[in-house]
Amino acid sequence: MKPAGFEAGRRYPLLLNVHGGPHAHYGYPFFDEFQVQCGAGYGVLYANPRGSQGYGEAFTAAVVGDWGGGDAADVEAALDEALRRFDWIDPERLGLIGGSYGGFMTSWIVGHSKRFRVACSERAVNVQTSMFGTSDIGYLFNQVELGGVLPWEDFGKYVERSPLTYAKDITTPLLILHSEDDLRCPIEQGEQLFVALKTLRREVVFVRFPDENHELTRSGKPRHRLERFRILLEWFARYLRPA
């Protein structure tokens, strides 16, 4: 999606959005997130990497046991293709954002890639081991998504597929957003990555929303949803300088 007021011949910053799920998908209806980002002067890129619905059962199941593998490669391939097709995208002003599983992907990618100037990880899965026992669905969800193994059967798998494990490799400025009443991805998921990055003296900001849950961006209090947009736009503008 082009930014509002697009002018040919100019270059614009881009925000790459990764959806949650992982078994969900982006479509074509009006979406307030993308409209706000475009309205603020950003190009918006969104794609359906493996694990997404809408492309058959095998494609949807391809991510099971491989979080951060082929799915991350697909996200970066989408960016590569967008840069190849559209010369109005400034490759020096790339931002990354995602929530829930998309938050996992954001935390994971910045721990494995340096191509994004700034990122925002929301309500993310950052520590598979602790989410197993603290999330309202962790005991089942994490087991299934990690290939059907339990922590005491293959603890190393849980550690290997946790963004926290790669915190030492994160140098991208990171905004972490989380809701205090989130039972799906409990707030300790955000706290653990924040504390790790602060200990490492990385550029990180942690914003906690009181009286909100995993659905903040969709059904949260209007004042909190507005405040979230303000925080997001101020964070990305600091590094990407939209018009």
Closest Cα partner for 36 from 236, 185, 176, 207?
Answer: 236
Q: Are 51 and 22 in contact (CB under 8 A)?
A: yes
Active site residue 100: yes
Q: Tell me how many helices (H) and strands (E) the chain has.
A: 10, 6
Q: What are 209's strand-pairing partners?
A: 179
Name the catalytic one among 19, 52, 100, 135. Answer: 100
Q: Which residue has the tokens 């949803």?
A: 225
Active site residue 219: no
Name the catalytic one among 107, 121, 178, 214. Answer: 214
Vertex 183: Cα angle to 37 and 122 (nearest 5): 25
Q: Are 167 and 111 in contact (CB under 8 A)?
A: yes
Catalytic residues: 100, 214
